[in-house]
């Protein structure tokens, strides 16, 4: 008998891909704003950045702070839902 895999809970897509795309279009060096470039800026893996952009996973607060700093926005502006009131 084949067991069905449990599907991970989908998180609503964030504005992360949109923000990265905007920065990439405006940048003098667009390669700095690829998924690889963003991963390097925040100290995460490319796989993590892809999952965050797809809404498959939610970055930990540590990475949300780094993402917000990299984009020059507040944590709430990244579009991730979080129960932690200290992020606002």
- What tens digit of pLDDT does each residue of 41-69 get? 999 999 999 999 998 899 999 999 999 99
Q: Is pLDDT of 2 > 80?
A: no
What is the pTM for the complete model shown?
0.77
Q: What are the C-alpha distances in Å from 25 to residues 15, 33, 76?
A: 15, 9, 23
DSSP 3-state assignment of 55?
coil
* Class of domain 16-79 (CATH, top level): mainly alpha
Q: How far apart are CA 74 and CA 31, in angstroms?
A: 23
Domain definitions of the chain by residue range: 16-79
């Amino acid at each position: 008998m084949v067991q069905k895999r449990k599907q991970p809970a989908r998180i609503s897509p964030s504005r992360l891909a949109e923000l990265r795309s905007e920065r990439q279009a405006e940048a003098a060096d667009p390669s700095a704003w690829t998924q690889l470039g963003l991963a390097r800026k925040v100290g995460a893996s490319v796989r993590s950045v892809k999952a965050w952009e797809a809404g498959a996973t939610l970055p930990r607060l540590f990475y949300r702070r780094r993402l917000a700093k990299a984009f020059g926005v507040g944590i709430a502006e990244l579009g991730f839902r979080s129960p932690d009131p200290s992020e606002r």
